[in-house]
A and B are shown apart, each in its own frame.
Chain A
Amino acid sequence: MTASERAKKPRLKRTKPIRSWSGVFEPPPEGASVAGSPASGPATNGAKAVPEAVQLGYTVIQDYLNEARQEAQRIGGTPRDTRASAGPERLTQRLFQYTSDLTNLWLEVLQASTQRDTRREPPRGTAGPFVNGYHAEPAPSPTPAAPQGAPVVSLQSPSVSLKLCTSRRVEATIELRPAPIVGPLVAHELRAADPDAPRVQGIELEYRSTENRVHVSIRIPSDLPEGVYSGLFLDRSDNLPRGTLTVTVLPQD
Chain B
Amino acid sequence: MSTADGQVVASQLKAYGELARMHLWEYLKTERGPQELYRLAAEYPRRGGRSLRASLCIAAARCFGASTAESLDSAVALELLHNGFLVHDDIEDESEQRRGLPTLHLLHGIPTALNVGDALAVLSLQPLLRNCSLLGGRLGLRILQETECMARESVEGQALELEWRRTNAINLLPADYLQMILKKTCWYTTIYPCRVGAIIGTRDNVDLDRFIRYGFFLGAAFQIQDDLLNLVGDTDRYGKEPSGDLLEGKRTLMLIHLLHQAPARELRRLRSLLRLERSERTPQQVGWILDVMKHHGSIDYARQVAHGLVGAATHEFTAAFGDTADSDARRFLEALPSWVLERT
Contacts and interface: CB of A to CB of B under 8 A. Distances in A.
Contacts of A51: 308
Given A42-B260, A193-B202, A239-B67, A50 B136 contact: no
Given A42-B260, A56-B174, A65-B212, A240 B149 contact: no
Interface stretch (B5-13, B267-275, B298-306): B298-306
Contact of B203 (A42, A49, A230): A230
Q: Which of A53, A61, A177, A188 lies at the interface centre, i.e. has the most chain B CB atoms within 10 A of its CB?
A: A53
A80 interface: yes
B115 interface: no
Interface in A56-78: 56-61, 64-65
Contact of A50 (B133, B205, B305): B305
B18 interface: no
B65 interface: yes
8 contacts: A39-B175, A41-B173, A51-B308, A53-B309, A54-B309, A57-B308, A60-B178, A60-B182
A44 B179 CA distance: 21
Given A43-B301, A56-B178, A175 B136 contact: yes
Nearest to B134: A177
Interface of B: 65, 67, 69-70, 133-134, 136-138, 145-146, 149, 173-175, 178-179, 182, 202-203, 205-209, 212-213, 216-217, 220, 253, 256-257, 260-261, 297, 300-301, 304-305, 307-309, 311-312, 323
A106 B257 CA distance: 62
B173 A57 contact: no
Q: Label chain B's interface by main secondary structure.
A: helix
Given A53-B174, A241-B70, A244-B136, A193 B300 contact: no
A42 B174 contact: yes
A216 to B, nearest CB: 17
B117 to A, nearest CB: 26
Contact of B300 (A46, A79, A232): A46
Contact of A80 (B149, B206, B301): B149
Contact of B216 (A43, A61, A175, A188): A61
A40 interface: yes
Given A56-B178, A177-B134, A241-B67, 16 more contacts: A42-B260, A42-B261, A52-B308, A53-B308, A54-B311, A54-B312, A60-B175, A60-B182, A64-B212, A82-B209, A101-B136, A178-B133, A193-B202, A228-B205, A230-B203, A246-B203
